[in-house]
Chain A
Amino acid sequence: EVQLVESGGGLVKPGGSLRLSCAASGFTFSDYNMNWVRQAPGKGLEWVSSISSTSRYIYYAESLKGRFTISRDNAKNSLNLQMNSLRAEDTAVYYCASRSGYYGDAFDIWGQGTMVTVSS
């Protein structure tokens, strides 16, 4: 079964750090571009970051540059998001999503999400 499972969310104080992980299974992870997309409570979807299959190309939403770092380990079928200097407005469900290329550049596989709450 094709699956993405996020972990690492939780409650963190403003200015703190958190590392999210996403475990992939059921497909050839190393062939897929991977992404993080977040959704603040009651709000819409917001693309956060993208990493190509070989990690050669990495992109971030302009508003997040310098605070978040995306990485992947193809040997372990895992995707990570290091989040530093967290702010209240970073509070959201963070989804891991793939772009396989089989559906154009659409986000075709989504995890169930992990909740990040930034609050004192």
Chain B
Amino acid sequence: QSVLTQPPSVSGAPGQRVTISCTGSSSNIGAGYDVHWYQQLPGTAPKLLIFGNTNRPSGVPDRFSGSKSGTSASLAITGLQAEDEADYYCQSYDNNLSVDWVFGGGTKLTVL
């Protein structure tokens, strides 16, 4: 059971918009800690996609965007492309009992 909750899967047709939610609590996202998002293509290492809730590293297309509100965050992907098919993970920091960097359980995006 992950500290951050994500839907196991989402899907969309090419060109469509999809969103992936990440729900936390008052000890992590709700405490004001930043949310980051990672993309993991099949058989590869994770790659930083969104940092600091809304920011894209250089080279990440502006089709990817992040938002945060209260104890939740979301990743939106517009203009869906076949190469976006991957696993997506949210990540934050949790101060409950001990120091912990925490991940969501991951969401498998299928491009139909």
Contact = CB atoms under 8 A, between A and B. Distances in A.
Interface of A: 35, 37, 44-47, 50, 59, 61-62, 95, 103-108, 110-113
Nearest to A44: B106
Contacts of B89: 44-45
Given A50-B101, A103-B51, 15 more contacts: A44-B104, A44-B105, A47-B103, A61-B100, A104-B34, A104-B52, A105-B34, A105-B36, A105-B93, A107-B38, A107-B91, A107-B101, A108-B48, A110-B45, A112-B44
26 contacts: A35-B101, A37-B46, A44-B103, A44-B105, A45-B46, A45-B91, A47-B103, A50-B99, A59-B98, A59-B99, A59-B100, A61-B100, A95-B45, A103-B51, A103-B52, A103-B57, A105-B34, A105-B36, A105-B93, A106-B34, A106-B51, A107-B48, A108-B57, A110-B45, A110-B47, A113-B45
B45 A47 contact: no
A103 B103 contact: no
Contacts of A35: 101
Contacts of B47: 110
Interface of B: 2, 34, 36, 38, 44-48, 51-52, 55, 57, 89, 91, 93, 97-106
B52 A95 contact: no
A112 B40 CA distance: 11
Main secondary structure of the interface of A (DSSP, over half): strand
A46 B103 CA distance: 7
A20 to B, nearest CB: 15
A7 B52 CA distance: 30
A112 B41 CA distance: 12
A62 B52 contact: no
A3 to B, nearest CB: 11
Contacts of A104: 34, 36, 51-52
B36 A44 contact: no
Contact of B45 (A59, A61, A62, A112): A112
Nearest to B99: A59
Contacts of A95: 45-46
